[in-house]
Amino acid sequence: MKNGTISLYTFHLARTFNDPLDRVSEEKAKIFGEELQTRLTQQISLNNELITRLLHDTYFTDLTFSSPDKIDLIPDEIDRFNPSQFLPQNIQNINAAIGETTSIGQTIFIYVKVAYKMEANQALADSYVRNFLKDTPYKNDKITASNESNLLGIPLFEYFCQTTAISNTQEPVCHILVLLNYHDRNGLKKLGDCYQDIVELLCSYHKVKFVYQQAQLSYQAALKVSQEIEKEIDNFVLYVADKNKSLNNLSEMLEKLPLLALKHSNYCGELEFSLTTIEINHQIYKNYLQKLLSEGSQLDSWQKFSDHTRDIFIKQIQFWLNYMSPRKELGQQLTASIQGIVEIEQVKSDRALELAEKERDRQLQQTLQENERKEKEKERNLQTTIAVVAVGIGFAGVAATASPYLIKQVPDQKLTLIPVHFQPSFGLNPPHNLTLSVLFSLGAGIVGVAIAARTMRYIQKHQKSPIARIVNFILGNSQAQ
């Protein structure tokens, strides 16, 4: 075995769909790569070479470390490269320190020249990978190797390594490619000629996997919101069945539903964006894969990934969208239904308030009219009483004036207060002229009152009779005076 190299290919998303185009540039990609190189070379004291690219919205960094001259890169010596510095967790930590980008994946290339064809086998490739990971969290049995392929005629072995610390799908998988070049002296030249194609293909590969993981999160979030909306639907059904309905319950629903519907719509939008992104990158991946195949490569595992993307990733997201599509409308429909009921109930409430207000106004008007009627009745009774008394007084006055002419006057008659006498014998005293006049006047007054009262009752019952009009006219003139 001759000397070899270990290359770290990193892919960092530097601009999202909402970011301005000038957020990324080749110069910024270079600055990012140099910062990554500086931090790694502090821990890896080997010759290295840096290549950076701006791949659409992604910073690509290729940092290749070479083994010292005249030292063969054998599996037992691979730890001189300080493998833990290449692992995803360390690169993510460095990226977090640099900031402004999101790691979407990385690939470790182990390239070794071997002297004989028989050496370029799966066992040797396995030995390199296991020695590379022996002092890392990836030292376990969770190493998956694909069948032997060849990249531009060079034997290629692909590995997907997981750590036992992984507890969810968001933890990074260590992706390692081992190239064992045994017969082609121009192998590196071939790799150089197709370098951009390989980089573009790997970038699309990592984007597809990264975006699919994001789609899983979006679906889980959308499903959770969908379940909350369904709970509100159950509450709405209970409200409709409840005889003691309260608009307060609907108001609480209306406060929750718009936000839930907005969240659900946003998560569904993320799923649609993920689907579009995967479809685009899948097409890019297929294009570059076809180029490499046309150059004599045999890449069965890479072709399987293309098929998996088409048959699993894309169809799965389409299924999620189809599943969420009717639920996406549930929140909007429920909101519209509740708003309709609130409007109807509000109209009923306003109508009831309006009727109650009209009833209060009617009762108030009746009360005012009744009070006015009573006041008029009281005034009329007072006027009647005054008129009756006046007539009685008039009759009494006339009788008092006429009494001297109607009652015989007795000169020198004594006025006695006691109507009886006991001497010389018991008997009645003759009434005095004054007593007779007073009694005559009082009797005339009573007769006048009786006549006036009877007349006024007749007038009140027969308001339109001639006598009533005459009397009212007289009383009116009298009041006016």
Where do we find the tokens 């996406």?
328
Tens of pLDDT, residue by residue over 302-350, are 999 999 999 999 999 999 999 988 877 776 666 676 666 666 667 777 7
- Amino acid 477: pLDDT: 47
- Work out the average pLDDT over 436-459: 75
Q: What CA–CA distance (Å, rounded) separates 313 from 296?
A: 28
- Burial class of residue 237 (count of CB atoms within 10 Å of its CB; 0-12, 13-18, 19+): exposed
Indicate left, alpha or beta for 93 from its phi (over 0: left) and psi (-120 to 50: alpha): alpha
Nearest C-alpha neighbor of 217 from the set 310, 317, 309: 317
- Amino acid 109: pLDDT: 95
Instruction: Using alpha carbons only, give the angle 109, 115, 118 rounded to the nearest 5 degrees.
Output: 85
- Work out the average pLDDT over 445-452: 78
Q: What CA–CA distance (Å, rounded) separates 31 from 52?
A: 9
Give phi and psi for 169, each to the nearest 5: -70, -10
Helix axes 195-241, 247-294, angle to 10 degrees: 160
Tens of pLDDT, residue by residue over 279-308, are 999 999 999 999 999 998 999 999 999 999
- Work out the average pLDDT over 99-119: 88
Tens of pLDDT, residue by residue over 236-246, are 777 766 656 66
CA distances 141 to 30, 130, 134, 162, 327, Å, are 37, 10, 11, 9, 42
What is the bridge-based pairing of β-strands 102-113 and 174-181?
Answer: parallel
Q: Which two tokens stand for residue 130?
A: 């296991």
Q: What CA–CA distance (Å, rounded) separates 400 from 392?
A: 12
CB neighbour list of residue 258: distance below 8 Å, 6 or more residues apart:
335
Where do we find the tokens 């998996």?
308
Residue 360's pLDDT band, with cuts at 50, 70 and 90, is: confident
Which H or E run contains 327? helix 315-406
Other Cβ atoms closer than 10 A to 90: 17
Indicate left, alpha or beta for 105 from its phi (over 0: left) and psi (-120 to 50: alpha): left
Instruction: Using alpha carbons only, give the angle 281, 282, 285 rounded to the nearest 5 degrees.
Output: 85
Q: Is residue 34's pLDDT more than 90?
A: yes
Give phi and psi for 455, each to the nearest 5: -65, -40
- Amino acid 478: pLDDT: 45
The residues with which 428 forms a beta bridge, in sequence order, are 420
Is pTM beyond 0.75? Reply is: no
Tens of pLDDT, residue by residue over 162-217, are 876 644 445 678 999 999 988 666 777 888 899 999 999 999 999 999 999 999 99
Q: Which residue has the higher pLDDT, 243 or 67?
A: 67
Asked if residue 20 lies in contact with residue 57, where contact means CB atoms within 8 angstroms, the answer is no
Range 243-251, long-range pairs (CB < 8 A, 24+ positions): 245/345, 247/342, 247/345, 247/346, 247/349, 250/338, 250/341, 250/342, 250/345, 251/342
Residue 259's pLDDT band, with cuts at 50, 70 and 90, is: confident
Q: Is residue 480's pLDDT more than 60?
A: no
The rounded mean pLDDT for the chain is 82
